[in-house]
Copies of this chain bind each other. A is one copy, B any other.
């Protein structure tokens, strides 16, 4: 099997162009490009209605917002919507992010078929991913291929991310506790929050909360 009709969704024009180059050098010429997630969704929808659907979407995850106020503001939202509506569409994510948690989530829970890291060898890996994904297998860049290996111990989950995010927004640990309780999310006691933060501080070698937020921001975790 080979992909015939491909949509590229990336807000950076140069990336879109280079992805198109990779596709063409793999013999794929029926290509369209979008720079917004809304636009991508509409194009896919229209293609479906026109009986000329895409077989593959290559998309970034993070998009800068501009004057248009977008409905779908991130690649992840786009993917969530697409996997509901068009489960047959193959999706390759092409992103700077290399967090295992995110990768695992997209592959396991969103049925993403490939995850290629924009990096020094991004183009080459993207080319390889086309063949792998076309043959029905999942492709992962080497940097993130351990995402699917079970349990590489020291890992952070969505709760951790949420926690650090709320801290970075200036909430106190007690306020966070209240917030979680009001949303009926499970670990919500101040004590649990403290314990979790403690683990994270050890993991990231942070001296205090401020340091932890600083480090995770640098890592692009939040």
Contact with B along A79-106 (1 / 0, CB 8 A): 0000000000000000000100000000
Number of copies: 2
Cβ contacts under 8 Å, A11 to chain B: 119-120
Question: A131 at the A/B interface (Cβ < 8 Å)?
Answer: no
- Interface stretch (choices A40-48, A50-58, A177-185, A202-210): A202-210
CB pair A119 B12 closer than 8 Å: yes
A77 at interface by CB-CB < 8 Å: no
- Assess whether B170 is in contact with A214, with CB atoms less than 8 Å apart: yes
What is the size category of the interface that chain A forms with chain B? 35 or more
Which of A107-115, A121-129, A146-154, A188-196 makes up part of the contact surface? A121-129
Determine if A200 is an interface residue (Cβ-Cβ < 8 Å). no
Question: Which chain B residue lies CB-closest to A168?
Answer: B214
Would you call A167 an interface residue if the criterion is a C-beta within 8 Å of the partner chain's C-beta atoms? Answer: yes
Contact of B172 with A14 in the complex, beta carbons under 8 Å? no
Q: Does any Cβ of B come within 8 Å of A217's Cβ?
A: yes
Q: Jot down 13 A-B pairs with beta carbons below 8 A, ordered by A.
A: A12-B120, A13-B123, A13-B124, A14-B122, A18-B18, A64-B98, A64-B120, A168-B211, A169-B214, A170-B208, A170-B211, A210-B210, A213-B214
Q: Which residues of A contact B (CB under 8 A)?
A: 11-15, 17-19, 21, 35, 64, 66, 98, 118-124, 167-172, 206-211, 213-214, 217-218
